[in-house]
Amino acid sequence: MADEKPAEEPKSAAADGDAKEDEDEKPVDPAVALLTELRTQIRHIQKAVSLKEHRYITRVLRSMASTRKKVKDGVVLRKVILQFLPEETARDRMVEYLPEAMDCGDDPAPEADDAEDKDQDSSSLAMREARPEIECYLHLLVLIILLDSKQFDKVVECANLLIEKVDVHNRRSLDAIGAKCYFYYARAYELTDQLHETRKVLLARLRTSTLQFDAEGQATVTNLLLRNLLHYKLYDQANKLVLKITFPSTAPNSESARFMYYCGVIKAVMLDYTEANNHLLQALQKSPQNTAVGFRQAVNKHSIVVQLLLGHIPDRALFRQKVLGLDSYFELTQAVREGDLNAFTTVVAKYHD
């Protein structure tokens, strides 16, 4: 009698589950993920324009920090610009600023969803309505790539073209993106040591933002002007600007914190230490507690000096925050507390630079 073959054991459910998990854990192509993210942002901008819900644009701008880290090479951004901007003049001027490495013909995201492409077709009604916002946002990403790659020979020209696009339109849905564009416009000029050339443009934009009741734009441009004047140590002009303007009460906390900081610096230079201390404390209260370390460090440095000039001794717990790097100011505070003039002179000479 022939030996019977043993029956094959059925696969267990656990094995099937493990196989399914292995498939789910398959790594996603970063280019595909970035392309999906950019398309999602464009869809949010479309919703903001069509539904008049500005919170969608706020969501896009909040995600810019994450997008900025992924879009550095510009390959995927080039694809998005060519897809969503039908006008050859507009898109060609933007694409020419991107790195030459992007001239490769490979499609970075062949797995893109065709249905999504159809919904976001450049000729659709939603796309036509939101085209100024989408074009300014994509141009802003191009400018950020140039800044991050330190292509300073191109950033000024690119920034000027971006501001021209923003100034052409008078749309409330463009206010938040326009404010961000002006911030990076000033940053481009600052990094190329031409910050003084932006003053006339910023003053004109401040007037326009005030007349159009653009609170975010008004707050952003006000801070840019104050930063500009303080950079060149024009404290008297900065003080006159603060006295003549009304800072919008509905401005974002980040802009309010910056404004309070600049006011504190101005008042300290004007020897009004009490007001300077109040402004600096408000700046610390409005600033993020877990991020913006550089900003909190700058505010605390000025606050410590102002408190010492008022005869107050800063809390020791402040100096225990190693992330702020206030060791030199701790030595200065100790010298003042002990009333040791020699130690004070030594600390000042040690950290003079």
Taking the C-alpha atoms of residue 140 and residue 158, their distance in angstroms, rounded to an integer, is 9
16: pLDDT strictly greater than 70: no
pTM for this structure? 0.84
Q: At what angle do helices 235-244 and 253-269 cross, to 10 degrees?
A: 130
pLDDT tens-place string over residues 70-129: 887 777 788 888 777 776 667 777 888 776 544 444 444 444 444 445 445 544 666 778
Q: What is the rounded distance in angstroms from the CA atom of residue 235 to the CA atom of residue 239?
A: 6
Return d(Cα 124, Cα 145) in angstroms, integer.
28
Quote the pLDDT of residue 26.
Answer: 60
Question: How many angstroms separate the CA atoms of 25 and 40, rounded?
Answer: 23
Place of tokens 């230490």: 273
How would DSSP label each residue in 29-60?
PHHHHHHHHHHHHHHHHHHHHHHT-THHHHHH
Nearest to 207 by CA among 245, 177, 180, 237: 245
Judge whether residue 6 has pLDDT over 70: no
What is the largest distance, in Å, between two alpha-carbon atoms of the chain? 110
Q: What angle do CA 185, 188, 190 make, to 5 degrees?
A: 110
Q: Write down the pLDDT at residue 28.
A: 66
Query: According to the model, what pLDDT value does residue 84 have?
Result: 77
pLDDT of residue 120: 52
Q: Pick the residue with more confidence: 238 or 1?
A: 238
CB atoms within 10 A of CB 269: 15
Q: What is the pLDDT of residue 108?
A: 46
* pLDDT at site 17: 52
CA distance 37 to 301: 39
Range from 16-20, 133-137, 143-147 carrying the lowest mean pLDDT = 16-20
Q: Could you give the percent of the chain with pLDDT greater than 70? A: 83
Interhelix angle 215-231/253-269, rounded to 10 degrees, is: 30
pLDDT band at residue 1 using 50, 70 and 90 as cut-offs: very low
> In the predicted model, what is the mean pLDDT of the chain?
83
Contact 31, 69 (CB under 8 A): no
Would you state the pLDDT for residue 121?
53
For residues 264, 269, 275, 280, the Cα torsion angle rounded to the nearest 10 degrees is 20
Q: Of residues 326 and 184, which shows the higher confidence score?
A: 184
The burial of 222, by beta-carbon neighbours within 10 Å (0-12 exposed, 13-18 middle, 19 or more buried), is given as buried
Question: What is 327-350 written as a DSSP string?
Answer: HHHHHHHHHHHHT-HHHHHHHHHH
* CA of residue 165 relative to chain centroid, distance: 19
> How many Cα atoms occupy the beta-carbon half-sphere of 23 within 13 Å?
5
Q: CA-CA distance, 329 to 202, in Å (whole number)?
A: 35
